[in-house]
Amino acid sequence: MTRLTDLGVTDLRDGIAKGDFSAREVAENFINATNEAEKLNAFITLTPDHALKQAEEADKARASGQLKALSGVPLGIKDLFCTNGYRTTAASKIIGNFVPPYESTITEKLFAAGAGMIGKLNLDQFAMGSSNETSAFGNVISPWRQKNDDAALTPGGSSGGSAAAVAAKIIPAATGTDTGGSIRQPASFTGITGLKPTYGRCSRFGVIAFASSLDQAGPMARSVKDCAALLEVMAGFDPKDSTSADVMVPNWEKLLSSDIRGKKIGIPKEYRVDGMAPEIESLWQRGIQMMKEAGAEIVDVTLPHTRHALAAYYIIAPAEASSNLARYDGVRYGERQTPEGSNLADMYSATRAAGFGDEVKRRIMIGTYVLSAGFYDAYYIKAQKIRALIARDFEAAFDKCDLLLTPATPTAAFALGQKQDDPIAMYLNDVFTVPASLAGLPAMTVPVGLNDQGLPLGLQLIGKPLDEQSVLNAGLALEERAGFTSQPEKWW
Amino acid sequence: MSVINASIVRKIAKLACIAVTEEEVTAMVPELNAILGWGEQLAAINTDGVEPLTSVIAQSQRLREDEVTVPDIRDALLANAPEAEHGFFTVPKVIE
């Protein structure tokens, strides 16, 4: 018999509904799997009580014929989502003991739909990072390793715990958040599927803010179908979020179809960047071939401002971060530092110095500088104008095509420590994911193959605003043709 | 555009309310220069007549009735405070 931990979201949901197994068995199996996987350091806080309580409810609901959309499905929750009564740290020291007295809208929706929570997943501190090495709770270790090499690899970031845990099959799926690629890059590094919806689809209420004009939550799962099922529950208008999109949530899972005949898939030539690994280029060509075989028409498109996207992003995101993170001052929550004889201002500075990690400080400093008098126009306003040009590029491209197919990352996963000392080398990880973030577009990564060293590689599909359905459909077509079934060999 | 030196780093740190040691200042000078220097490539791009994009979605301010919609969770909120007294957050003395 298949192990229950081999099943994803929709298989678990359907199996519980049919009575193939109980929700309790499901919860226990995943709780055991997480307990055995301590070496991955994927979790900051384990919450088996929550998963078991929801499982009990699911089994009761089944007996009374009142199952909900995700009854009995246990999930991992990125530790950036506030969970009522459960510690929420953002992987930081400064709010390392914060217990929210309220629930993020997304977790509220997931739990109301019957999902349970196995634990709070590790991440880059305040979601700032591309390798999960900025967490105050230690690195997450990818379950993947190169052939004949035991070196610890990054799962990517910032949703590194989510990616590692889903890939290691210690949870069926997880929530992630994506500001410049934090769902898509780790999903790609670990051979799973991740979807960043259109900006505004998922409520940001109760999601600890990094860069508010870019932050979007989304699902990370083992299949396109599972992503569709999760997104249906996560998405929806929320009056508590002033940028929430007041639009209908489609029945994505039901309407899912890999029939993409006649769809036009754009290939942006600017995504062929200098220094791109040959294995990424050949993967992209294979993806193009798969889309053709699925009956799609391939068209060449141009996104001329692509190469300026990263620089614009690394001005805009830190600017917003410096403002958002002003709230961590040791007054309302978090760990306060009060040096001997200090006044209020000294307390603020000492608290923030002790509580923030190096990368968070670096971004606050950059953000403070680009927003400061004399530099605001040259950096911040300029970056926002570039952002406008990038958004226009996409609009023009979508006059010629329905979707874009691009690489997800410039390389496969790298070793922990390899890029830690060079912030710009680290930022270059986001080169393919940042443009869609700046334009607020839905984008998904799907695992397509392994490189010569046996590490997973993914491709990215970018869609028109609010057209998650086309992204999911093309993602399914890619998934069916790629037939990616590889998984990491268990060493943990 | 400007070149970041130690005194600018100290000034930014002060604006950002982050205490920094001299060692940290020294380490940050090249880092911030590299990142900001990278951002300076944007200056060469023609953006004449382009409006800055502040939001990717049409923003309209929603209004609601001026009513209390959340329960009183004062004590629960104060429970997370490093120091609280008599139903208030407390801070080091600001008036002598």
Q: What is the pLDDT of residues B27-86, one digit of tens each?
A: 999 999 999 988 888 999 999 999 999 889 877 778 889 999 888 999 999 999 999 999
pLDDT of residue B93: 84
Residue B68 within any structural domain of the chain? no
Under an 8 A CB cutoff, do B20 and A353 touch?
yes
Q: Which two tokens stand for residue A94?
A: 């400064």
Under an 8 A CB cutoff, do B51 and A388 touch?
yes
Q: Which two tokens stand for residue B67?
A: 């009513």
pLDDT of residue A230: 98
User: Please, which pLDDT band fits residue B1 given cuts at 50, 70 and 90?
Assistant: low
Residue A47 within any structural domain of the chain? yes
Residue A344 within any structural domain of the chain? no
Q: Kindly tell me the burial class for residue A315, based on how many C-beta atoms sit within 10 Å of its own C-beta (0-12, 13-18, 19 or more).
A: buried
Residue A382 annotated as catalytic: no
Under an 8 A CB cutoff, do B42 and A311 touch?
yes
A329 touches chain B (CB under 8 A): yes
- Closest partner residue to A366 (CB to CB) among B32, B57, B62 is B32
The catalytic residue among A92, A142, A158, A437 is A158
pLDDT of residue A2: 75
Residue B22 within any structural domain of the chain? yes
Residue A386 within any structural domain of the chain? no
State the total domains in chain A: 1
- HEC string of chain A? CCCHHHCCHHHHHHHHHHCCCCHHHHHHHHHHHHHHCHHHCCEEEECHHHHHHHHHHHHHHHHCCCCCCCCCCEEEEECCECECCECCCCCCCCCCCCCCCCCCHHHHHHHHCCCEEEEEECCCHHHCCCCCCCCCCCCCCCCCCCCCCCCCECCCCCCHHHHHHHHCCCCCEEEEEECCCCCHHHHHHCCCEEEECCCCCECCCCECCCCCCCCEEEEEECCHHHHHHHHHHHECCCCCCCCCCCCCCCCCCCCCCCCCCCCEEEEEHHHCCCCCCHHHHHHHHHHHHHHHHCCCEEEEECCCCHHHHHHHHHHHHHHHHHHHHHHCCCCCCCCCCCCCCCCHHHHHHHHHHHHCCHHHHHHHHHHHHHHCCCCHHHHHHHHHHHHHHHHHHHHHHCCCCCEEEEECCCCCCCECCCCCCCHHHHHHHHCCCHHHHHHCCCEEEEEEEECCCCCEEEEEEEECCCCHHHHHHHHHHHHHHHCCCCCCCCCC
pLDDT of residue B10: 97
State the total domains in chain B: 1
Q: A100 vs chain B: nearest CA distance in angstroms?
A: 8
Residue B69 within any structural domain of the chain? no
Residue A135 annotated as catalytic: no
pLDDT of residue A49: 98
Phi-psi region of A338 (alpha: psi -120 to 50; beta: other; left: phi over 0): beta
User: Please, which pLDDT band fits residue B2 given cuts at 50, 70 and 90?
Assistant: low
pLDDT of residue A45: 98
Residue A470 annotated as catalytic: no
Residue of chain A with shortest Cα separation from B96: A343
Residue of B22, B23, B40, B57 to mutate for A, most A C-beta atoms under 10 A: B57
Residue B37 within any structural domain of the chain? yes
Is this complex's ipTM strictly greater than 0.90? yes
Residue A115 within any structural domain of the chain? yes
Closest by CA to A290, choosing from A270, A268, A269, A260, is: A260
Rounded Cα–Cα distance for residues A144 and A126 (Å):
25
Under an 8 A CB cutoff, do A424 and B35 touch?
yes
A255 touches chain B (CB under 8 A): no
Residue B89 within any structural domain of the chain? no
For strand A116-121 and strand A173-178, is the pairing parallel, antiparallel, or unpaired? unpaired
The catalytic residue among A71, A92, A104, A182 is A182
Q: For residues A470 and A403, is the Cβ–Cβ distance under 8 A?
A: yes
Write out residues 12-51 of B within 8 Å (CB-CB) of A: 12-20, 28, 31-32, 34-36, 38-39, 41-43, 45, 47, 50-51
pLDDT of residue A1: 57
pLDDT of residue B39: 85
Rounded Cα–Cα distance for residues A437 and A197 (Å):
10
pLDDT of residue A316: 97
Q: What is the number of other CB atoms lying within 10 angstroms of the CB of residue A228? A: 29
Question: Could you tell me the residue range of the domain that residue B36 belongs to?
Answer: 6-43
β-pair partners for A176: A218
- Closest partner residue to A349 (CB to CB) among B19, B38, B54 is B19
- From chain B, the residues in CB contact with A332 under 8 A are 77, 80-81, 89
Output the domain CATH number for residue A471: 3.90.1300.10
Q: Is B42 helix (H, G, I), strand (E, B) or coil?
A: helix
Q: Which two tokens stand for residue A141?
A: 């270790």
What is the block-wise mean pLDDT of chain A (492 residues), using blocks of 10 residues?
Answer: 91 97 98 98 98 98 97 98 98 97 97 98 97 97 96 97 98 98 98 98 98 98 98 97 95 98 97 87 97 98 96 97 97 93 94 97 97 93 97 98 97 91 85 97 98 97 98 98 96 96
pLDDT tens by residue, B11-24: 999 999 999 999 99
Q: For residues A111 and A80, is the Cβ–Cβ distance under 8 A?
A: no
Question: Could you tell me the residue range of the domain that residue A420 belongs to?
Answer: 4-260+413-482
Rounded Cα–Cα distance for residues A445 and A449 (Å):
12
